[in-house]
Structure 1
Amino acid sequence: MFDSPLSASAYDVLGVEPTTDEDSLRRAYRLRLRQTHPDTGGDAAVFVQVQRAWELVGTSAARAAYDRGHGFADAPAPEWAGWRAPARPADTRPKARSHGQPGGWRRERYLTLIREWAGRGVTIDDPYDPALVRSAPRDLRRMLADALAEEATARVVSELGMGYTVWHDVAAPVRGGTGDDKLDHIVLSPSGLYAVLSEDFGGPVGVRRGELTGDGVPGTPVADLLARMRVLARAAGVRFGGAVIVLPDDDLVQAVTDLGRVRGTPVVLVARGALSNVLRQGVPGARSIGGNEIFDIRTRLQQAVRFV
């Protein structure tokens, strides 16, 4: 929740300045608990955020570590890795077949735009420095947050094994689109063929009439995903079994929400921690794939896929 470049800081959630004293911080926490408690008409997701914020800054030791790691202190934490892709331990188990670079397009755009925003002639020692990221405009922070979300989803899918094939950052230009239209991931599995959208809106997300809702949700993510699916389905001559939208665990009240059929396509909203189970068991209403059909679909996609 608070490790996202886009989400509010622990101090923002508690409604105080980072320089507030301990007594004021404690009073603010108790006030926010009362304001957000579900029994008094508050939002359950925000109530959880308030509790998590207090865990991060409620003691002197925890607060000092949080401040160093998130750019609220003069000295950065020496072991903190910023918003880089985490190092992965050696693992010899077979991985899913993977094509393309997850989050690569948005990473490159972020690095270009953060330097443009800083200004010509300004040297940026670390484009992922937490204080720099926190001060950047929302559209830049969103670019980085989405890249991180795509990388996190890719790590989950890679652990599913050799029976799965995944393509990342697949071009899917739609008429009247923005010029950067893409499918974050395409996953081919025995349970079905899925288009997967990885997002981080920086806060709680709900559903209304088959579409995502929330303060940080722009546009119509579900409708846009389905439109891009249709573009690639026509180009490759394949049929998707469903669509999966993956969000950070803390941003959803339920781990899995079945949106039913949206414009004829089964859609589920999934917390990242539940993604493996969903892809193994299948999206409700999706058709499983077996035998030579998997090889045929894989061949068609390999011939049709273009990366952004």
Structure 2
Amino acid sequence: MPDSPLSASPYEVLGVASDADDATLRLAYRRALRSAHPDTGGDVVRFHAVQLAWELVGTPDARALFDRGARGGAPAPSREAWAPAAPKPRRDSRPLARTYGHPGGLSRERYLGLIREWAGRGVTVADPYDPALVRSAPRDIRHVLADALAEEASARALSTLGIAYTVWHDVATDAAGHGLPPKLDHLVLGPTGLFAIQSEDWGGPVAMKRGELVGAALDGERPMRALAARAKAIGRAAKVKPTALVIVVPDEHAEESLELGGTNRGAVVALVRRSRLSSAVREGLPGSAHLGGTEVMEVRSRLQVVVRFA
């Protein structure tokens, strides 16, 4: 079970409430194991998830540890894993990409507002990143926090691109008028092109189909279409054209490290695993136009004039 706010708890995997008694928990485990067993037509991934869930809450001692915020005696997703990370001193002197904006800032602001609203008026939320509080929140609130973490992880990867690249985070866009989030997560410019990038965590696998993402976790979303609208709004304002539209997801949510989906208004469309992001940008996407030095400087100048931060 990955340490994501959207990861199902052992109780959710077994289909019981977190305060279920031991007999109910045991019965739910047996039923879940039987229905998920590969020999009876079940799914091997779910079968392993059920087994892991039982390891975490199947005995009184293990359950007590989990309910206190520990998993099987090992550290659980701690508040430090989900709270804003403190800046770390650099250990090398390699030049980093030039970066602007606050990655994940708007998503964290939204999360803090939503979690306090959900807790209720007059209720003091001492620690909005307490794992027990996060696990108990509705999925849409946990999704906002998961997206903030995804944006921050991508920003760390993009910072390693080198001085030839410029990165803008949380870029405001008027595409919000169509019911879309009011920003583009990352805009990256360098010799391998102009990349419009969204960092996402839907809590489940997604795949590319006819230029759009599909998957049960999307719940009807059309994320590539939304990304194209955001990129178009920024490109129109700066009179530039993105060369690539990229959606980044946790490694375990994509079957391939890089999956292409054709083009959208001349921009190559791709689904990329998080661990592959920096190399995909540095190498350039297959079929995506590269930019000459003079062209990079001209595009950067135009973007610097129009870029606003959400």
Tell me which interval the TM-score lies in, with the shorter structure as reference length: 0.7 to 0.9
Aligned-partner Cα distance in 1 for 2:185–2:34:
40
The aligned counterpart of 2:85 is: 86
Query: Equivalents in 1 of 2:283, 2:55: separation in Å?
Result: 35
Q: How does 1:128-207 map to 2 (within 5 A)?
A: 128-174=129-175, 176-178=177-179, 180-207=181-208
Whole-angstrom distance in 2 between the partners of 1:212 and 1:230: 19
Q: Secondary structure of 2:171's partner? A: strand
The aligned counterpart of 1:302 is 304
Equivalents in 2 of 1:173, 1:110: separation in Å? 22
1:123 alignment partner, SS class: coil
Instruction: Show structure 2 runs of 5+ residues with no match.
Output: none
Q: Deviations over 1:202-249 (max 9, x none)?
A: 111123322212222142110010011111111111111111100011
Distance in 2 between residues matched to 1:17 and 1:103, nearest whole Å = 32
Long gaps (5+) in structure 1 = none
Within 5 Å, give how 1:241-256 maps onto structure 2.
241-256=243-258
* 1:100-144 residue CA offsets vs partner (Å, 9 max, x unmatched): 000101111111121122112111100111111122222211111
Q: Structure 2 CA distance, aligned partners of 1:53 and 1:62?
A: 10
Q: Which amino acid aligns with 2:101?
A: G
State the one-letter code of the partner of 2:277: L
Whole-angstrom CA distance in 1 between matches of 2:71 and 2:52: 18
Partner letter of residue 297 of structure 1?
V
Q: Normalising by the residue count of structure 2, what TM-score does the alignment of the two structures yield? A: 0.83
- Preserved CA contact (<8 Å) 1:69 1:80: no
Q: How many residues align?
A: 303
Q: Which residue of 2 aligns with 1:212?
A: 213
2:4 maps to 4
Partner of 1:293: 295
Q: Distance in 2 between matches of 1:124 and 1:61?
A: 28
CA displacement 1:72-100 (0-9 Å, x = unmatched):
99xx9797525113345421432211100
> In the alignment, is the contact (CA less than 8 A) between 1:196 and 1:245 conserved in 2?
yes
Aligned ranges 1:85-104 → 2 under 5 Å:
85-91=84-90, 92-93=92-93, 94-104=95-105
Q: Is the 8 A contact 1:70 1:131 kept in 2?
A: no
Q: What whole-Å deviation, never above 9, does each CA across 1:169-227 have from its counterpart, x for those lacking one? A: 11111274237421110011221110001001011112332221222214211001001
> Matched residues, percent identical?
51
Cα pair distance change 1:6/1:256, threshold 3 Å: same
CA contact (8 A) 2:199 2:249 kept: yes
- Given the two structures, how large is their TM-score scaled by the length of structure 1? 0.84
Q: Aligned equivalents of 1:61 and 1:163: distance in 2?
A: 54
Greater relative contact order (Cα < 8 A, sep 6+): 1
CA contact (8 A) 2:207 2:271 kept: no
Question: Deviation at 1:288?
Answer: 1.1
**For 1:178 and 1:77, how far apart are their aligned partners in 2?**
36
Out of 14, 34, 37, the position equivalent to 1:34 is: 37
Q: Which amino acid aligns with 1:301?
A: L
Q: Note the alpha carbon deviations across 1:53-85, whole angstroms, 9 max, x for none.
A: 678678999877655436999xx9797525113
Change (3 A) 1:136 1:210: same
